[in-house]
Amino acid sequence: MVSQAHAEAVAEFRRRKDEHFAAGRGPIGAAALADFRGLSYYAPDPAWVFTMPVQPGDLAEMTLGTNTGETRTMARFGVATVELPSGPHTLSLFAPLGEEKPVRVFVPFRDATSRTGETYGAGRYLDAPLAQAPDSDETLVHLDFNMAYHPYCAYGDGWTCPLPPAENMLPDAVQVGEKLPSGVAN
């Protein structure tokens, strides 16, 4: 059961993104904006919300490929292991270069919905907040896959979007967050 507070937070995130796109500040072209009625989303599911410890990384530079063939360099902040329906899976967490104490990390991922066309084939993103564990020096990451979103390159040309590294390829279908509208090929 989705709590009222969580459902409201997810709805607000989606409302703000839809308003941003509708105002012409997103990747949707002017011709398509006249018919734009909002993005497509799965229903929220609390089973896809995780808070877990971060195993710190060395902030080493890691080069991610992009949809355009360019590269994007980020710092590997650490890893976190999430308990998926198919079993535990360790995800890499990224921060901008030079940010030793970010407030959130970038988590690009692909899952089974990327392969079936339900979501963008190149994957989706999470911006995951970090927090200090109570009574310890341990850093926690909050992964709420209900907030998963498509990169701009899913909606239009001319955008350069980082691709998930191999370790962020999830075997499960993550049927929460943003999805492609019915009938859209990716």
* 49-62 pLDDT tens trace: 999 999 998 888 99
User: What's the CA angle centered on 45, arms 79 and 152, to 5 degrees?
Assistant: 65
Whether residue 109 contacts residue 79, with contact meaning beta carbons closer than 8 Å, is answered with no
Q: What is the per-residue pLDDT for 129?
A: 97
Q: What is the per-residue pLDDT for 183?
A: 46
Those residues whose C-beta lies under 8 Å from the C-beta of residue 155, and which sit 6 or more positions away, are 26, 27, 28
Q: What is the per-residue pLDDT for 51?
A: 96
Q: What is the per-residue pLDDT for 31?
A: 82
**Cβ-based burial of 186 (10 A; exposed 0-12, middle 13-18, buried ≥19):** middle
Strands 139-144 and 178-179: unpaired
Those residues whose C-beta lies under 8 Å from the C-beta of residue 84, and which sit 6 or more positions away, are 170, 171, 172
Q: What is the per-residue pLDDT for 182?
A: 64
Q: What is the per-residue pLDDT for 152?
A: 92
Q: What is the per-residue pLDDT for 36?
A: 87
Q: Which residues of the chain have pLDDT under 50?
A: 183-186
Q: What is the per-residue pLDDT for 2?
A: 65
Whether residue 162 contacts residue 156, with contact meaning beta carbons closer than 8 Å, is answered with no
Cβ of 126: how many Cβ atoms within 10 Å? 24
